[in-house]
Amino acid sequence: MAFKLLVEKTDPSEFEYIIEEKNAQSGERLYIKGPYMMASEVNKNKRVYDLDSMITEVARYEKEMIKTDRAMGELNHPTTADVDLERACHIVTEMKQDGNIFYGKSKVLNTPTGQIVKSLVLDGVRVGMSSRALGKIDQEGDSEVGLVTEMKLVAIDCVADPSYSDAFVNGILESKQWILNRKGEFEEHYDRFEESLKGLPRTDVNDYLTDKIMSFIKNI
């Protein structure tokens, strides 16, 4: 089973904005605090995350990303399973568990997208945080609820438009698949094939597909 890229939004009204003045040189810094992720309950996307698995994954993320000052997130969700540094707007500084909720705190960066976030907040626009993770979705029978397993947290992104359609975002992301290569890295399986087709003249597409199918059959 391939991995899917999953995004889970939270309610922007539950977030707190803190302005801290460090010193005359660094000026004011904006921090955002609130609930970043939830486990053991069915969310708005009809998915539920196993609590033990999320605890393990958050511990990994904290050790590898937060404590090494690499836990950056983007403004709104990209359709990739990595973080584009040119779009980074905040960095997660802490994440703590309280029951089945994981609360986080982020420092807004002095980057172009970070300045957008700061301007929005200072002008009264409420923004929230949304997790972006790879995972496998198990659904039993006719159940509408999917159990997310083998979760790998990619980033916590800042979502400036809470009215943005969750169904639309998830429809795009879940049409793609990621697989683990031999190096233990995630590869975007769907897009690589799609890009190969886009680069071909329309008359060559059928020949390309035929060649790939025959190559696959020979390697079975």
Catalytic residue positions, numbered: 77, 130
Largest Cα–Cα distance in the chain? Answer: 68
Residue type, 130: S
| Alpha-carbon gap, residue 127 to 121, rounded angstroms | 7
For strands 146-159 and 47-49, give the pairing: parallel
Instruction: Count CB-CB contacts under 10 A for residue 117.
Output: 22
**DSSP 8-state class, residue 64:** I
142, burial (CB in 10 Å: exposed 0-12, middle 13-18, buried 19+): exposed
